[in-house]
Every structure is written in structure tokens, then in C-alpha cells.
Amino acid sequence: MATSIDSSVLNSVNGTAGQTGKAATNRESDDLNDQFMTLLVTQLQNQDPMNPMENAEMTSQLAQINTVSGIEKLNSTLSSITDQIDQGRALEAAGLVGSGVMVPGNKVLTSQMDGKVTTTPIGIELDQPADNVRVTITNGSGQVVDQYDAGSAKAGVSNISWDGELSSGEKAPEGAYNVSLQATRGESSIDSQVLNYAQVGAVTPQENGDVSLDLGAVYGQVGLNDVKQIL
């Protein structure tokens, strides 16, 4: 009577093949391949001459070891592709150093030079167009210092400007202010996300393949996927 290779051995082989390249080394795979072939040869040597193994059964078992080798090569190829993608992301992010970006956040910064006030851009991200966007500026104490209607905004990312003047008409002192937005369409409010401007100072690759962008002391670090717009 023909015998079959212990299923636990096959499960061990296939289980190792399903792991990542870091978890299953080439040496481990070679050892499992040798073990598989040794068992197959032993099975052939000890089979019942009156009831030998059928060709289909032998072909099936040989196909399994070929599948293991093929999966191992595929995992190695995918690992190489992943490494190339990670390197590409790092190079892409490095090109952002010194550039201005819009990322999720509610800050607007003001500065004065020659009697003029300049402010960083304010951004809004919408899933649908808005008929009007109401902008509220507050200081560090939470006090409202200015409020105005910015008009309509399209779906996606749009930029909103603030003239840097308080509701009293005075120029806003230099510093950081908070922004809140209320987008409406018709009589209904619609979801929106506030974006603030920051400048990329440095790029730091992470172990998991992601990339962190250093936006300075005010904004800290964000991921590359957090960048909604490059200015």
C-alpha cells in the first residue's frame, strides 16, 4: 500500500514559504527542501511493489516542493520591490526640504516688517463645494480676535487668506493664532478640515518604510501622506 508524506512536514514547508524574507532564510528553506526530498525518496524505496505510488500522486507531491521554491522567490522579489518603493519615497520626501506644504492643523502665523503684516496661508479640504466658509481667528487665550466670510470654496483643497488685522482694525501682533472654519452649503453645514502652512526643514526615514517631515518647533513632525498641498 502506498504511503504519503506526513502532512505536518508539508504544512511546515508551506508555512515557512508564507513568511517574509526576513523570517525565513534561504538556509531554512534549503533544509526543508532536503527534508521533503528525503522523505519522498524513502517513500519510493519502501512502497509496496504490488501497489506502487501512482504517477499522479508523485507529480502532486513534486509540485508542492516546486510551489514552495516559487513562493520563496516571489517573496524575495516582492521584498526587493518594497525596498525600492521605500527608497523612492525617501527621495521624494527629500525634495520637499525647504518647500512650503499644507498639512492638517489649525495654526496661522503672523509677522511684521516695515509696518506691514504678513500671515501664513490657511487651507481647507472639502469633500463637496461650499457656498461660504466662515473663518474665526482666536488668540492663545481662546479669545476671538477676528471673524469673516471667505466666500465659496471648491471641493478638494483650497487656500484662504487672512489680512492680519484684528476685528478692531489694528494689526495683529506677531505670533501664532488658532483658526476654525465653518463651511456651509445652502442652509446646511458640511464637513471640512483645516490646513495650516509649514515649511519642511528635514526628512527622517522610519524603520517601517514611512517618512517623517520635520516642520519645526510649532508643528513638529508629520508623515508624507499628511501633505495635502505643496506650495
Higher pLDDT: 146 or 54? It is 146
Helices (H), 54-121: 55-94
Position 83 scores a pLDDT of 60
pLDDT category of residue 75 using cuts at 50, 70 and 90: confident
Contact predicate 155/128, CB 8 Å? yes
Contacts for 167 with CB less than 8 Å, ≥ 6 apart = 144, 145, 146, 147
| C-alpha–C-alpha distance, residues 133 and 145, integer Å | 17
What CA–CA distances, in Å, run from 99 to 96, 102, 158? 5, 10, 18
Position 4 scores a pLDDT of 47
Higher pLDDT: 37 or 26? It is 37
Q: Is the pLDDT of residue 166 over 90?
A: yes
Q: Is the pLDDT of residue 92 over 80?
A: no
**pLDDT single digits (tens) 192-218:** 999 999 999 998 887 777 788 999 888
Higher pLDDT: 74 or 224? It is 224
For CA atoms 134, 170, 109, 143, give the dihedral sign: negative
**pLDDT single digits (tens) 115-130:** 899 999 999 999 999 9
pTM: 0.61
Q: Is the pLDDT of residue 13 over 50?
A: no
| C-alpha–C-alpha distance, residues 185 and 131, integer Å | 5
